[in-house]
Amino acid sequence: MTFCDHCGLLLPVGADRCPRCGAPAPAPFAGAPETEVPAPGPRYRGVQPPAANTLTTGGYFLYLCLFGIPVVGFILALVFAFRRGGNRARKRLARAAVLYMLLLVGVLAVLYVIAGVAAFLAAQPLRAGPWI
Ligand SMILES: [Zn+2]
């Protein structure tokens, strides 16, 4: 970037004369590299994930509500979890929902068994031990 010594105009890169007054362009400083302004281009060159593989907050909310429906939600989660293709974020959410529901069913089954055994034992009449 150089300026005309005569009129002070900013000279275009590589010009040997001033376009306004015709004075010869000053020699560039010895050793001063000619700086190039980087060409404008895309600032973010990273690969953006395709929109088909993301879910918005509203999408997560919608699918969590759907998966929360007692029987239909479990079937929907199974379909979304194991169907080929489709939205990968939804697939991961559906798989997590299936695992969560299986865990919930397992824990509830254990609790029901414990409660059933306790109720059965509580219904038995008290008996005297053999030591009496
Ligand atoms: Zn000039």
pLDDT at 124 (0 to 100): 81
**pLDDT (tens digit, 9 = 90+) per residue, 93-115?**
999 999 999 999 999 999 999 99
What is the spatial distance between Cα 59 and Cα 71, in angstroms, rounded to a whole number?
20
What is the spatial distance between Cα 68 and Cα 111, in angstroms, rounded to a whole number?
21
27 CA distance to ligand 1 middle (Å)? 14
18 CA distance to ligand 1 middle (Å)? 5
25 CA distance to ligand 1 middle (Å)? 8
19 CA distance to ligand 1 middle (Å)? 7
pTM of the model: 0.52
What is the spatial distance between Cα 73 and Cα 71, in angstroms, rounded to a whole number?
5
